[in-house]
Chains A and B, each alone.
Chain A
Amino acid sequence: MVIVHRNPSNARPDVVVRAAQPGDLPVVVALDAEATGLEKSAYWKERFAWYANGDRGRFFLIAERGTEAVGFIVGEVRAWEFGSPPAGWVFAVNVRKAERLHGLGTILFDAICTRFRKVGVTIVRTMLLKDEQLVMSFFRSMGMMGGPFIQLEKRLDP
């Protein structure tokens, strides 16, 4: 399904959000590399295969203006890991640097939340590095708050 979004007010007009297609892989790799400085072709190829198999609750969405992909968001419904009832997880969101501050991230986030709701989940989660201030501020601006889980880790000695 393709939805044409015309809000929020600062958004550039006529942004289409649609499911990712195999032909989007190079653009997604490039957008991710632009943001992270790392080109992870193999990783994204594997992710495309995972999300393209049509499983209910998996979403890889592309924001497109005209014929140009300008952003993407990836997420899926996960259930009972860490004791959690089904919840939508956002694993990645990215908007081309030159296209930021026009509400595209909001459009993508709203689009995946709509799809999460349609498959019956009422919570959306994400996880990110504490020092990723820009991305964390974005998710905060979407109304996300600290949740009931806390991430712990330990360095494994050789």
Chain B
Amino acid sequence: MKLQTATRIAIHAVLELAADPGSQISAAQIAERYDISVNHLAKVLRTLGRAGLVEALRGVRGGYRFRGNARRVTLLDIVQLFEEVDSVKGASREPGAHTAEGRALHAVLAEIDDTARATLSSITIATMLMLVARQPPTSPARGRSAAGASPRR
């Protein structure tokens, strides 16, 4: 399964902010850490803000803050803000969908979608942060360490 760029950015941003919910982090800091465009990140943060997952704070020390419940918000909640998880939902309009072969293919793809949905809906932000903490550090030659890049973890 490949996530769209905006979805990946959103997940990175939420994880970054939720790792230290008491602090405010600027979009520039997040963009630098994940090597992503600030403009693209700003659009993603607006969507996350409208969904009530992050909050923008103004002022000199302004930035963004996670405002969801890390033990309740799941990856599916974030992914669905940016893309359709059920890829076969509109498949009935595709060429050949009405044939026996098309319906058989639909059944197989629906099984894959079911599994993806169940996986994404069962992994909370808190669980993701735990998985992040368990990752072995990457070698300095290959980039910043997942654990070492952020002193907050």
Q: Which of A101-158 contact B (CB under 8 A)?
A: 130-131, 133, 136-137, 139-141, 143, 146
Q: Report which A residues bind B (CB closer than 8 A).
A: 130-131, 133, 136-137, 139-141, 143, 146
Q: Report which B residues bind A (CB closer than 8 A).
A: 71, 74, 114-115, 117-119, 121-124, 126-127, 130, 134
Smallest CB gap from A145: residue in B: B131
Which residues of B are found within 8 Å of A130, using beta-carbon distances?
114-115, 117-118
CB-based A-B contact count at 8 angstroms: 31
The secondary-structure label for the interface of chain B is helix
Smallest CB gap from A134: residue in B: B122
Q: Closest 10 interchain pairs by CB? A: A136-B122, A130-B118, A140-B127, A137-B122, A141-B127, A140-B122, A133-B121, A140-B123, A137-B124, A133-B122
State A146–B118 Cα separation when bound (angstroms).
Answer: 11
State A83–B117 Cα separation when bound (angstroms).
Answer: 28
Query: Does A137 lie within 8 Å of B74, measured CB to CB?
Result: yes
Query: Does A141 lie within 8 Å of B119, measured CB to CB?
Result: no
Which residues of A are found within 8 Å of B71, using beta-carbon distances?
141
Which residues of A are found within 8 Å of B121, using beta-carbon distances?
133, 136-137
Q: What's the minimum C-beta distance from A135 to chain B, rounded to whole angstroms?
A: 9
State A88–B89 Cα separation when bound (angstroms).
Answer: 38
